[in-house]
Structure formats: C-alpha cells, structure tokens
Structure 1
C-alpha cells in the first residue's frame, strides 16, 4: 500500500482528502501544521508528499525545500497545493513535481497523484 504524507491546515480539506485517498487505497498520514509534521517519525518515508502552501506556522514551500534538500527524501515526489499562489509564484522557492490549484477537481487530483507516483 502506497503511503502519502499530507500537510493541510484546513480540517475540511484535510479530512476530505484523507477519506478520498484512503478510499483509493492509499495509507494517508495527515498533519495540520508544520510543527506537527516536523514531529513525525522521520525514519518513515512516504511514496508522496502533498503540501499546502499557506500553513498557520510556516509554509509548504519551505517544507518542500527541506524535503528536496534532504538526501534521504530528495527523490520522493512532492505535490504543492494552493488557492493563493501558482507554480510560477513558488518555483523560485522549491521545485515540486506537480502543482494543484485550489479549488481542485477530485478526478484531476487523483489523475495528478497517479501520474506523479508513476513518473517519479
């Protein structure tokens, strides 16, 4: 079973994604803030990271840079989601494998996750 680490501060979006992705056969571990994500068991690597850009105690782009700059996790694909930014806005901060604008279409989200997991 493929594992996804999701960092999303909006409980409605986080719960919806967790239910949707679990129904699709993924094992999802979700976090509502950067501090919570940083307390995770770092010995466990997911198959995919999904980060929201705007978080209450930091930024998904900063997390992206940390993940991509870490030798252990740099090859794990990463998707950034945002309602307030676009890929051009964040590409100078980090280089995610994909970018999903909010609000997102569920079918498109699932296709992008599948493509990202099967490409990287």
Structure 2
C-alpha cells in the first residue's frame, strides 16, 4: 500500500482527502500544522507528500524545500496545493513535482497522484 503524508490545516479538506485517498487504497497520514509534520517519526517515509501552502504556523513551500534538500527524501514527489497562488509564484522557492489549485476536483487530485507514483 502506497503511503501519502498530507499537511492541510483545513479540517474539512483534510478529512475529504483522507477518506477519498484511503478508499483508493492509499495509507494516508495527515497533519494539521507544519509543527505536527516536523514532529513526525522521520524514520517513516511516504511515497508522496501533499502540502497546503498556507498553514497556521508555517508554509508548505518551506516544507517542500526541506524535503527537496534532504538527501533521503529529495526523490519523493511533492504536490503543493493552494487557493491563493499559482506555481509561478513559488517555483523558484521550492521545486514541487506538481501543483493543485483549490478548489480542486477530487478525481483530478487522484489522477495527479497516480501519475507521480507510477
């Protein structure tokens, strides 16, 4: 079972993504804040990271940059989600493997995840 780490502060969006991705046979571990994500078990590695840009205590862009700079994680795909910015606004700050604009179509999210994991 493929594992996804999700960082999303909006509880409703986080729950919808968790339920949907779990129903598609993904193991989803979710975090509501950058701080929760930072305190995770670093020995547990996902197959994909899914980060919201705007978090109450940080930025998904910063998390993306940390992942991409980490030798052990740099090849793991990162998807950034945002309602307020486009990829052009932060592509020089981090290099995500994909970008999803909010609001999103859940089928499109699944297609993008599948594409990156195959």
Return the TM-score normalized by structure 1. Answer: 0.97
Structure 2 partner of 1:4: 4
Name the structure 1 match of 2:108.
108
CA deviations 1:12-71 (Å, max 9, x no partner) are 000000000000000000000010001100011100000000000000000000000000
- For structure 1, which runs of at least 5 residues remain unmatched after alignment? none
Report runs of 4+ in structure 1 exceeding 6 Å deviation.
none
How do 1:11-22 and structure 2 match up within 5 A? 11-22=11-22
Q: Does 1:81 align with 2:81?
A: yes
What's the TM-score once normalised by structure 2's chain length? 0.99
1:95 aligns to what SS in structure 2? coil
Shift of 1:110: 0.6
Q: Distance in 2 between matches of 1:41 and 1:85?
A: 30
1:90: Cα distance to partner? 1.2
Count of aligned residue pairs for this structure pair:
118
- Structure 2 residues not aligned, in runs of 5+: none
| 1:63 corresponds to | 63
Q: Secondary structure at the match of 1:21?
A: helix
Counterpart in the other structure of 2:98: 98
CA RMSD of superposed structures (Å)? 0.5
